Each structure stands twice: as C-alpha cells, then as structure tokens.
Amino acid sequence: MSIELPPSAAPRPALPQDVLPAAVRRRLLGLAGTGTPVAAYLYDGDVAAARARELRAALPDWASVYYAVKANSFPGIVQALAPHVDGYEVASLSELALATAAKPAAPGAPAPVVAAGPAKSLPVLTGLVEAGVEAINAESPLELHRISRIAVERGTTARVALRVNPAEIPVTGSLHMGGEPSAFGVAEPDVAEAVRLALKLPGIDLVGFHIHAASNNLDAGSHAAYLRWCIEWSAATAAAHGVDLRHIDVGGGIGVAFEQDFKDETPFDVALFGELAAATPPPAGVKVALEPGRFLVADCGWYAAEVTDVKHSYGQSFAALRGGINHFQLPTSWDIVHNVAVLPVDAWPEDVPRPEATGPVTFVGELCTPEDTLLRDVRVGRVRAGDIAVFPYAGSYGWEFAMHAFLGHPVADRILL
C-alpha cells in the first residue's frame, strides 16, 4: 500500500516567526505557560471581515457575496462576517442555524441563505423550506419533487435554483471544467427536462440556476470569464425554456496562494476581477451570487501545536507535535506544501534534556500512522521540544476537515482573538 504524504519542502526554509501577528504570538506564549500542551486554532475575525470588505467593494452592485460556511464554521467567524456579506451558503441544518442566527431575515424577506449539497435529506430540505431561504440549489428531479411536496404541505412556495453540471465551459485557467460524470447537479443534456418539471411542480418557484465549476482559481481574468459565461449561459437557457430568471449562482472557486513560498503563485487580483466582472452585467433584475469560502477566511486562522519531541532517525530529523491530521488534515488532503513558523518557548525543566534539530525537519503528528505528516524536509534554524509549530493560512478547511475521532485524542481548541 502506498502512503500519500505532502510534497517535500526541500530545500526551502521555514517561515520566520515574525510572520505571526503579535497577538497570535502573545496568546500562544500565554497558552504555553498553562501546563497543558498547546493544540489550538487561533482566529482573527477582523482579518476575515477585511477580506470580505475587499471583495464586496471590488464587485459591481448586481453581485452578491454569500460566505460558504463549510470553509470555517466557528461561530465567532460566521458572526464577524455578517455585516460584510450579503448572506451565507449552507449545506446542513447546523450551518443553517449558524447562518440564520448571524444574519436574520429582514421582515417580509427571505432568509439570506443559499443551500447546496448533492444528497439533501428530507430533514435538511424541510428545514430549508421552513426557514424560507433565498434559494435551494436543487440537485436532481427527485429533489425537486421532495422540495415541492414539503412546500405544499406547509402552504408555501420554495425558491429553487437548478444546479447544472455543464457539458463544457470554454474558459482557460485553473478551473474544473464541466462535462464529467459527477454526483453534483443535473447534467446539461437533462436540463430541459428538469426545468419543465420544476415549472409544473406546485411548490416550486424556479428562480434561476446554480453552476459551480471552479476550484481554487488564482487567475482573476479566467475567473471573470467564467462568471461571464455563467451569466450568458443562464440567460440563454432561461429564455429558451420560459424561466423567469432572477438568480444566478456561480459558486465559489476564488483561490488562495497557499504555496507561494514554494511555487510561482500570485495571489488572486480582487480589483482586476471586479473590474472585468463589471463589464458584463446580467439582465435587468437578476442577482448574481458568489459563494467564496476559503478566500474569505484562509488567512484569518493559525493552527498551532506544541512540539512534544524531536527525534533523529537514519539521518533525518522529526518534530513530533501534539496534534496532526486529527487536527489539521489540509496539507495531506490537498497535496500541498503548507509552511510553518517555529515559535520558541524558553520554559523547560532544568533536569530534563531538551532535544532539538536544525536543518531539514519533517513535522509529524501524534497518530499511529506514518500518514500523519504535515510538512516534510523544511529547513529550520532550530526547533526544540516545547516550542510551538504554527501553520498560517489555516482559517479554511482546517478544524472542519480534520479526523477528530481517530485515536480519541482531544480535538484542537478554537480561540477567537
């Protein structure tokens, strides 16, 4: 059996500790003095809010920003974003509860929520209908039938956008093109039949379409072209099938340069994206929804784990952490080099030898599997047992994406700065 590990960082150096904000360093050093091994996510709500304001300011008025709660569901972050986003994208009842608590519906208006997910259960669909969300992104004919029945039983009508798996998106760049078999959405050849069904079902108000075919795209030009294509496709399809188009959801997909220290990555140009997007407005009265997740919150979080031991084996050095993929699975899951900064902690018992390493070091976790590897072969000035390894850009798909139950170790704390 082959073991999938993150790519080697060699010969690159670790991040200097001064990349960590002073507030992060202070809080971690305070935690280090409590006697409990440090294992925590630190979040800064102001950083997330600033990122949302940046995107919102760059976009034209007809574009709306719905934060994808799955990226970071910590209540403090969801609340911090509330004044700066138009609403939330959710995929479960727990996320729906977070969203409606953070941003309640205005009187007489739908809840500012759009909902996604390829296998929505009856309880989830019921909760979405009862909450009166802005759009349920329907994934199949059966889901359309279920939504309609739930709505009719409650004497209401549910606003629905049909999720589409397009045959092809003629846009270059870092996009996941359509036309491939997928559990997500309705294949484009079947859209006409699904639209006819939605239009005749009594409990459904078909408001538009949902297309999510982009992933971690760093190219602002190609992402603007993708948005333009989604608008044009939706308008043409609505006109061809008699849909009263009011809503186009283009999904997320704005990227984060996680590996700019190791690859030729340039952060996403928000201003250019907004400028290019504004050049092709949708038909009058149509709202265009974007669902950014990682882009809004990646840099608002830091994962920190105490170095419990430093080991040397056959010419290689290992820093073993109080944590690992049970807390922070992102580097292994996404096959990326996710760099680290080492925060020195001076306190150490005088009568206990303190192991340390310099040069290339591999950072591993506490689990009984060699797959529990967060970073390989990164060059450090010095790392000692008792120091704290801190991974920036851990605000998205970090705590939410981890293997919390494996081996039963305590989960990482989550702290709002």
**Which residues sit opposite 313 in a β-bridge?**
316
- C-alpha 37/C-alpha 413 separation (Å) is 11
- C-alpha 96/C-alpha 108 separation (Å) is 19
How far is C-alpha 144 from the chain's CA centre? 27
How far is C-alpha 359 from the chain's CA centre? 33
Q: Six-digit token pair at 206? A: 């078909």
Contacts of 380 (CB under 8 A, 6+ apart): 13, 14, 342, 357, 358, 359, 361
- C-alpha 103/C-alpha 47 separation (Å) is 19
- C-alpha 138/C-alpha 142 separation (Å) is 9
Task: Give the other-Cβ count within 10 Å of 166's Cβ.
Answer: 20
- C-alpha 365/C-alpha 249 separation (Å) is 39
- C-alpha 337/C-alpha 7 separation (Å) is 6
SS3 5: coil
DSSP assignment of 341-366 equals EEE------TTS---EEEEEEEEE-S
Q: Which of 347, 368, 405, 408 is catalytic?
A: 368
**Which residues sit opposite 415 in a β-bridge?**
42
Region for residue 249 given its phi and psi (left: phi exceeds 0; alpha: psi -120 to 50; beta: otherwise): beta
In Å, what is the CA distance from 272 to each residue of 20, 49, 56, 149, 223?
Answer: 28, 20, 13, 44, 10
In Å, what is the CA distance from 395 to each residue of 5, 301, 316, 341?
Answer: 21, 4, 30, 16
Based on the residue annotation, tell me whether 368 is a catalytic residue of this protein.
yes
Residues with a catalytic annotation lie at: 368
